[in-house]
Amino acid sequence: MAAFEIKASARFQRTSPLKVRKIVGAVKNKTVEDSLNTLRFMPQKAARLVEKTMRSAVANAENNYDLDVDDLVVRNITADKGPMLKRFRARARGRGTRILKRTAHITVILTDKSVHR
């Protein structure tokens, strides 16, 4: 079978990329089924975001490439920086401090089990 890379991305997610990267190590290079089961029981918000993106990639594989879900492996997950929302909070003596509300772009890449080693 030809080497397929199925991709799905979720952009502008309201969480820090560092928080997403902590989740990524637990699911990389596993089968999709194992990865989804692992993500389902993680308490972090980032796990829900990665799970949703992974389900989108699985749907892309089924509907666009007619691949069997049982043969898919998580090849890579990346969490890149998105734009930061800049806010200010009032502080003592009339000052204000900047609060950076970070966003992340999550990308999930799946591949076929026969290709992945």
Domains in the chain, CATH or no CATH each: 5-112 (3.90.470.10)
The pTM is what? Answer: 0.89
Q: How confident is the model over 15-65, as pLDDT tens digits?
A: 999 999 999 999 999 999 999 999 999 999 999 999 999 999 999 999 998
Beta-bridge partner residues of 72:
112
pLDDT confidence of residue 113:
80
Q: Would you say 36 and 73 are in contact if contact means Cβ atoms under 8 Å apart?
A: no
Q: Is the pLDDT of residue 115 over 70?
A: no
Query: How far is the C-alpha of 21 from the C-alpha of 35, rounded, in Å?
Result: 15
Q: Would you say 39 and 50 are in contact if contact means Cβ atoms under 8 Å apart?
A: yes
Query: How far is the C-alpha of 16 from the C-alpha of 112, rounded, in Å?
Result: 30
Q: How confident is the model over 2-13, as pLDDT tens digits?
A: 467 999 999 999
Span 66-85, average pLDDT = 94
C-alpha distances (whole Å) from 12 to each of 52, 59, 61, 75 are 14, 21, 23, 22
pLDDT confidence of residue 87:
97
Q: Would you say 45 and 13 are in contact if contact means Cβ atoms under 8 Å apart?
A: no
